[in-house]
Amino acid sequence: MKLLRVKANHFKNCSNDYTIDFVSKSRKFSEDKEYELQEVAPELHVFNTMVFIGKNASGKSSAIDLLDCAYSILSEFRLENKKYSYDGIELEIIFYHNDFIYRYETTLGSDKLRNRAIFINEKIHKKKYFKSKVKELYNPDTFDKLLGDNVWLPDDISRLFSVFGQKKTRAIYFDSYEDGTETYRLLFNALKNYEIESSVLSKILRVFDENIESLEMVDEKNYKLIFKGEEKNYTDTQLMYMLSSGTTKGLLLYVLMVASLKEGFDLLIDEVENHFHKTLVENMISLYKDKTVNRNNATLIFTTHYCEVLDQMGRQDNIWICKSGLHVSLSNMYEDYKIRPELLKSKQYYNNAFQTAVDYNALMNLKKVLKS
């Protein structure tokens, strides 16, 4: 399964027909096919990496939240415990699965008692994929079959269950919020669930702190750490004070990255630079571009304020500019801006080519108040 497009109405404060498209739009060179793109089916290419960028409060988290919403439905057939209202959200999710293109539509209601979404008026269309008709990929008139009308499920379970038959991780969402001591439990659960060897954790430890030789879970509240050759047991709370915040979050993120690359599911990260050095972010991007590492077609999708990271992206159609006004909106660098490909994207960002600069007058007005 590979997600191709998500379209939403009435989602958070987003504009109507708020759309995120995974399918490549610009010309594909051989170098792009080697590093930037993955071929889902003949002549159907999606991105190895996608980025959402913009200034503060521009709606970057809303874009990631919408993708998390779609992946939750595709993975768990359920939407629950989210931090937004489900009422009235209209979704269209288009994806590729086993030689077919599926178009799923639903309106959401809310079971407020259990903080779950209710699926209303679900429709599932599908069509056989043919590379000769790739330009008609999203044309609703080309979908010829309706599924799921005869399947009875509770109203908080999506009829997409009839397509996949069982739950499967299709993406993991790593947000910028602190999980505190829970981070260590999540870390070791991920190692166990995705069968990641302890030697891999040792390599990750050295990336974030060369003084750490090993970290082991004794039980869910206690851990054994070898630091500068000295072995000592710590509670999870003590470990939080022992290790930096960046190391703690980085260990979990990199373990999830390894799981993503190993299993082939997508990784969503909100504010990838939060606590992390730019080099670590660039390393993650390079791993998803490397087909010897990313053998199962995982996609890295992230938001960032690091405009220098844009220069790591070899294309423009996998870069989304987020803006806020009355509603949050998205624009695609390739489709909506005329940026010459040989120019540094970061320089264009600093030159305000995307109208994303911080309000200089607001900064100066603040300075005047402080001086007075």
| DSSP percent split of the chain into helix, strand, coil, nearest 5 | 35, 30, 35
* Element holding 238 (H helix, E strand): helix 236-242
Is 366 found in the same domain as 283?
Answer: yes
Alpha helices in 264-332 (DSSP H): 278-289
Identify which of 365, 346, 345, 349 has the alpha carbon closest to the alpha carbon of residue 357.
Answer: 349
pLDDT of residue 12: 95
What CATH number is given to the structural domain containing 115? 3.40.50
Residues 48/7/175/316 CA torsion (nearest 10 deg): 40
pLDDT of residue 176: 62
Is 283 found in the same domain as 177?
Answer: no
Instruction: Report if residue 323 sits inside a domain.
Output: yes
* Element holding 107 (H helix, E strand): strand 100-111
Write out the residue range of the structural domain in which residue 197 sits.
172-264
Is 144 found in the same domain as 125?
Answer: yes
* pLDDT averaged per 10 residues, the chain (length 372): 98 96 94 96 97 91 97 97 95 97 97 92 94 94 77 89 94 80 92 94 92 92 92 93 88 95 97 81 95 97 90 94 93 92 87 79 81 80
Pairing of strands 116-128, 145-147: antiparallel
Residue 7: both structure tokens together:
């379209």
Instruction: Report d(CA 43, CA 27) in Å as an integer.
Output: 12
**Other residues' Cβ atoms within 10 Å of the Cβ of residue 287:** 20
Q: How many structural domains is the chain composed of?
A: 2
Is 114 found in the same domain as 31?
Answer: yes
Instruction: Report if residue 367 sits inside a domain.
Output: yes
The beta-strand segments (E) located in 166-275 are: 171-174, 212-219, 222-227, 230-235, 266-269
Backbone angles phi, psi at 90, to 5 degrees: -110, 125
pLDDT of residue 357: 73
pLDDT of residue 364: 84
Residue 97: both structure tokens together:
């699965």
Is 190 found in the same domain as 158?
Answer: no
Place of tokens 């989304």: 320
Is 256 found in the same domain as 321?
Answer: no
Instruction: Report if residue 337 sits inside a domain.
Output: yes
Is 191 found in the same domain as 112?
Answer: no
Is 221 found in the same domain as 78?
Answer: no
Instruction: Report if residue 294 sits inside a domain.
Output: no
Residues 342/343/346/349 CA torsion (nearest 10 deg): -130
Place of tokens 């630079």: 273
Whole-model pTM: value is 0.93
Instruction: Report d(CA 258, CA 261) in Å as an integer.
Output: 5
Instruction: Report if residue 293 sits inside a domain.
Output: no
Is 86 found in the same domain as 155?
Answer: yes
Q: End-to-end distance of the chain based on CA atoms, in angstroms?
A: 60
